Amino acid sequence: MAEENRKLAIICSKGSLDMAYPGLVLANSALSYGIDVVMFFTFWGLDMVTKSKMNELKISPVGNTSMGMPNALAVIPGVTGMATSMMKGKIAKLDIPPVGEFLDMIVDAGGQLYGCKMSVDMMDLTKDKLYDGVIDIVSAGDFMDMSEGAQIIFI
Amino acid sequence: MAEENRKLAIICSKGSLDMAYPGLVLANSALSYGIDVVMFFTFWGLDMVTKSKMNELKISPVGNTSMGMPNALAVIPGVTGMATSMMKGKIAKLDIPPVGEFLDMIVDAGGQLYGCKMSVDMMDLTKDKLYDGVIDIVSAGDFMDMSEGAQIIFI
Amino acid sequence: MAEENRKLAIICSKGSLDMAYPGLVLANSALSYGIDVVMFFTFWGLDMVTKSKMNELKISPVGNTSMGMPNALAVIPGVTGMATSMMKGKIAKLDIPPVGEFLDMIVDAGGQLYGCKMSVDMMDLTKDKLYDGVIDIVSAGDFMDMSEGAQIIFI
């Protein structure tokens, strides 16, 4: 079990499938260790908690040297979809839930989810378009309050 | 107001418009809460404080699945410029200043800006090419000193 | 010298040459200041400690607006290789070691390296394919234990 009052504040700023999971996995692990978790979704990270997008996150082989695919091939229509399907298959095979279910688990375990006001405004979103588990839309200043004494992780 | 001596050390390693703003917004919010802020610009993040580039940062729809643009379309000449103009418009509409002005605000509020020596050397830069508010060019070791006791955020 | 028990926990999630070095440089600097360092390699970051890949990391000019290369040009076969060679040349010129040697230095200085179990499973890797200095393959929960009281940096 964690030291008393240990807290993790995770800023999720990316909306790709491969950069969504690290935040979800860290949040879930921390909660299971009795660590308080606040997640702050900002910029592209809002996609992770946008109802119409959260289960449709993609992975792009373009510009990702680790996927070992020549860029000239990776830009061909359909390749992003193919790479996304492959990664989703690998994730499911490891019994890791899709994004929406993973968020449910995190909320059930006590994780606190917030959307970033500036990003919500920039993307013309409203609270009703966000995942129901998002507590509120707050400012970066509010995040400063919430993350006092926390280990901050920016993804 | 923040607990006494709360400190944020933000490492900015990206030079794209969308990854420049999170650091600026967090720094500015922290300062307005009385939190000490050190910003360390390294690798591509040096673009944020390079005079000739800081107000010309771009956003690339290629390889960014959140922008929802097929890569085959996103690589067409002019599309990066178009996406950049659109995002700059949205930022301005929210009364968020351009990068240069935002840095002025942060410096005026007491934020401390440093360039990374290794990156400056790698990119053949010199201090006079950097934004005037950059206090000094320092090593990663110096950053270790400055970030003692801080919450570290790597962007 | 650092305050007693200062600890840095670095999560490396990227496998590109430009995002591998920040973690290596920070780890190395921290160790030279007497700070404890744990490195946790996850997702694409596993490439940094995969024997067959760690000295073949690449940099992609596609989707990287800081490299100033039009995407339509950057996707041409051979351009990624050319950009990679250029950056490797600049790194060598600054007397910064290649990834494998840099890891040796970090391990010799007491840095503790761990692979992420979920990512290892996802990528069908086994411990023998990883760099010998990797102590073990551990879960995100184990990382929570190791990072208690640490400054966490997610790259």
pLDDT digits (tens, 9 = 90+) for A24-81: 999 999 999 999 999 999 999 999 999 999 999 999 888 888 888 888 788 888 888 8
More confident residue, C42 or C1: C42
- For range C34-38, the mean pLDDT: 98
Average pLDDT over residues B128-145: 97
Residue A96 with chain C: CB contacts under 8 Å: 118
pLDDT in tens, B5-57: 899 999 999 999 999 999 999 999 999 999 999 999 999 999 999 999 999 99
For residue B80, name the pLDDT band (cuts at 50, 70, 90): confident
Mean pLDDT, rounded, for B121-125: 93
Against chain A, the chains showing at least 3 CB pairs within 8 Å are B, C
ipTM above 0.90 for this complex: yes
Contacts of A66 in chain C (CB under 8 A): 14-16, 44, 47
Q: What is the pLDDT of residue B151?
A: 98
Ramachandran area for residue A124 (φ above 0: left; ψ -120 to 50: alpha; else beta): left
Question: Given a cut of 90, is residue A125 above it in pLDDT?
Answer: yes
Question: Averaged over C103-124, what is the pLDDT?
Answer: 97
In order, the DSSP letters of chain B are -PPTT-EEEEEE---SHHHHHHHHHHHHHHHHTT-EEEEEE-GGGGGGGBTTTTT------TT-GGG---HHHHTSTTHHHHHHHHHHHHHHHTTPPPHHHHHHHHHHTT-EEEEEHHHHHHTT--GGGB-TTEEEEE-HHHHHHHTTTPEEEE-
Cβ neighbours around A72 below 10 Å, total: 17
Please report the pLDDT score of residue B79 as a whole number: 82
State mean pLDDT over B74-99. Answer: 88
Candidates C42, C55, C152, partner chain A, best to mutate (most A CBs within 10 A): C152
Could you tell me the pLDDT band of residue C146, with boundaries at 50, 70 and 90? very high
Interface of A with B (CB under 8 A): 11, 13-17, 42-44, 47, 57-60, 62-64, 74-77, 79-80, 118, 121-122, 139-141, 143-145, 147-152, 154
Contacts of C153 in chain B (CB under 8 A): 11, 152, 154
* Position C68 confidence tier, pLDDT thresholds 50, 70, 90: confident
Question: Greater confidence, A97 or B73?
Answer: A97
Q: What pLDDT does residue B3 have?
A: 59
Tokens of A24: 């979800």
* pLDDT at residue B2 in the model: 53
More confident: B102 or C73: B102
